[in-house]
Amino acid sequence: MTDNTDLKRLAEAAPKVRDPLKTRAHGKVRDAILSGNLVRPSICEKCGDEPGAGVDGRSLIQGHHHKGYDRPLDVEWLCARCHRMETPFNPRRGDAVKVGKLTLDAVLDIRTKRMSQRQFAALYGVVQTAVQQVQTRRTWDHV
Ligand SMILES: [Zn+2]
């Protein structure tokens, strides 16, 4: 059986390896822009907004992989607002969700220790439903 240390290590390593296709697609877009094969425009293709440039001087327009990460250079250029609306789900989960009260350690406790949902809820300052969702993997499904 896997102990908590192994689970924790796997979970912490997860963000880097969760979606290698996505990471590679982002790298290919970056390389194409640097080599001049792809040009990042300054205007959003969807709403026409011009968000300007960030502190590094680059346009804040983001490349949206509207046809999937297996077509890395097939991007639609969108402002952050339009990009957020096009993305089917918020990929920030678990510890990365800023409003989340539960930590990885708490999740591992909830999954492995024998205690009632009500006791866990009181211990970690969350509602009982939050504990139930962790136990049924409705949330923290990546752990
Ligand atoms: Zn837009």
pLDDT band at 32 (very low <50, low <70, confident <90, very high): very high
Given a cut of 80, whether residue 25 has pLDDT beyond it is yes
CA of 82 to the centre of ligand 1 (A): 4
Given a cut of 60, whether residue 97 has pLDDT beyond it is no
Whether 58 contacts 52, CB under 8 Å: no
pLDDT of 66 reads 84
pTM (predicted TM-score): 0.51
pLDDT of 68 reads 86
Residues that place a CB less than 5 A from ion ligand 1: 44, 46-47, 49, 79, 82
Taking only the tens place, the pLDDT of each residue in 73-84 is 999 999 988 888
CA of 75 to the centre of ligand 1 (A): 14
Given a cut of 90, whether residue 85 has pLDDT beyond it is no
Mean pLDDT score, 114-136: 92
pLDDT band at 54 (very low <50, low <70, confident <90, very high): confident
Given a cut of 70, whether residue 93 has pLDDT beyond it is no
Q: What's the DSSP call for residue 139?
A: S
Q: Give the chain's end-to-end CA distance (angstroms, integer).
A: 15
Burial class (CB in 10 A: 0-12, 13-18, 19+), 42: middle
Mean pLDDT score, 108-136: 92
Given a cut of 90, whether residue 16 has pLDDT beyond it is no
Given a cut of 80, whether residue 129 has pLDDT beyond it is yes
Domains of the chain, by residue range, sit at 18-86, 94-135
Whether 107 contacts 143, CB under 8 Å: yes
Given a cut of 70, whether residue 21 has pLDDT beyond it is yes
CA of 38 to the centre of ligand 1 (A): 19
